[in-house]
Amino acid sequence: MFKKNKNLSIKAQQLFKTPSPAIVFYKDCEGHYLGSNEQFASLFKLSPKTLYGATDFDLPILKEEMDFYRKKDLEVQQNQTPLFFYETCTPFLNKQIEIQTFKMPFYNDNGDVAGVYGLSVPLNTITFKDVASYAEEAGVEKKYLNFIQKQTGGYFLSPRELECLYFVVKGLTAKQIAKRMNLSFRTIEFYRDKIKLKLNCESRQCLIQKALSFDAIKSLL
């Protein structure tokens, strides 16, 4: 039987109340949603109030997505470390959304892990720097902010730039990347030039070497 956890940290409560275009939620150790913002609940045509107490297995999404979400929750809880990764969400088994998610543990007043809270943004909407900014506004601890920054080596590439860089690491040509990302060849060249400038690289090999130090890239390989 689901029971409300009354010992949520202040940071967890601040996180889902902070206005932002991001998807924000938090769950107890059993995977029940204890809170979310409107952006998240509305994906499933619910309100934060009606989402309360549900689990991912109650939502109209793919079974493999349910399993993946739960797996990541357990990793965060058991290791008591944050995670930053890419995932998909397919509300009502309709249009699939690609998102980047940051999950971290939160604790009760006794210092025990009480669950997981997370902040997700659809790809191609806001930058990693924005994610860190929203998390900071929500009172997320500095060590977690540093973790977010570490995912891209502190360079804060945009989601599109990071996606382009990932395909560069995979060995795709600019024309192939353009096709995969459904963009023009000229746009891909523009992204590649911006990435080189941000990473202070002149060659493809330099880009690959730096990219392989980014946790967000390594998690996809």
Predicted TM-score of the model (pTM) = 0.64
Q: Give residue-wise pLDDT tens across range 163-220.
A: 899 999 999 999 999 999 999 999 999 999 988 887 888 899 999 998 888 777 777 7
Helix axes 142-150, 128-137, angle to 10 degrees: 170
Kindly state the percentage of the chain with pLDDT values over 70. Answer: 74
- Alpha helix (H) residue ranges in 33-173: 38-42, 48-51, 63-79, 128-137, 142-150, 159-169
Higher pLDDT, 23 or 182: 182
Secondary structure of residue 115 in the 3-state scheme: strand
Instruction: Give CA torsion, residues 217, 94, 179, 154, to 10 deg.
Output: -20
Give whole-number Cα distances, 178 to 57, 113, 201, 206, in Å.
36, 44, 21, 21
Instruction: Decide: 82 and 102 in contact? Cβ < 8 Å.
Output: yes
Residue in this structure with the two tokens 């932002």, named with its chain if needed: 20
Running DSSP on this structure, what letter comes out for residue 182?
A: T
The pair of three-digit structure tokens given for residue 65, joined into one six-digit string: 């997505």
The token pair that represents 156 in the structure block: 């804060």
Q: Which residues contact 4 (CB under 8 A, 6 or more apart)?
A: 34
Token pair for 51: 């989402």
- Domain spans of the chain? 10-150, 159-218
86, 219 contact by CB (below 8 A): yes
Report, as an integer, the average pLDDT of 103-123: 84
The pLDDT confidence band at residue 142, using thresholds 50, 70 and 90, is: low
Domain 159-218 has CATH 1.10.10.10: yes
Residue 11 has pLDDT above 80, yes or no: no
Burial of 40 (0-12, 13-18, 19+ CB in 10 A): buried
According to DSSP, residue 60 is labeled S
Length of the chain: 221
Q: What is the pLDDT of residue 6?
A: 43
- CATH top-level class for 10-150? alpha beta
Contact 96, 89 (CB under 8 A): yes
CA distance 106 to 108: 7
Q: Measured between alpha carbons, how far is 85 from 184 in angstroms, rounded to an integer?
A: 27
117: which strand partners? 26, 104
**So what's the pLDDT on residue 129?**
59
